[in-house]
Amino acid sequence: MGAPAGPARGPAARARPDAEVGLLALDELEHHERLNALGPDIMAPTDALERGGTFDRAEAARRIRGRGGDPVNPVILDQTMVAGVGNIYASEGLFLAGVDPCRPAQSVTDAELGALWGTVHPMMWDGTTRWGRTQTTPPAMQERGETHWVYQRKGKPCLVCGTPVELVRLPPYDRATYLCPVCQA
- Tell me, yes or no, if the pTM score tops 0.85: no
- Polymer length of the chain: 185
Highest mean pLDDT among 25-29, 47-51, 89-93: 89-93
Scanning the chain, the segments in alpha helix (DSSP H) are 26-30, 33-36, 57-65, 72-77, 87-97, 110-128, 139-143
Domain residue limits, the chain: 31-128+140-179
For the stretch 119-172, pLDDT in tens is: 998 888 887 776 667 888 888 998 999 999 999 999 999 999 999 999 999 998
Query: Across residues 13-36, what is the average pLDDT?
Result: 72
Please give the average per-residue pLDDT across 12-36, as a whole number: 71
In this prediction, residues 18-32 reach a mean pLDDT of 75
- In this prediction, residues 167-185 reach a mean pLDDT of 94
Tell me, which fold does domain 31-128+140-179 have in CATH?
Helicase, Ruva Protein; domain 3 (1.10.8)
Task: Determine what percent of the chain is predicted with pLDDT higher than 90.
Answer: 55
The CA distance from 173 to 74, in Å, is 7
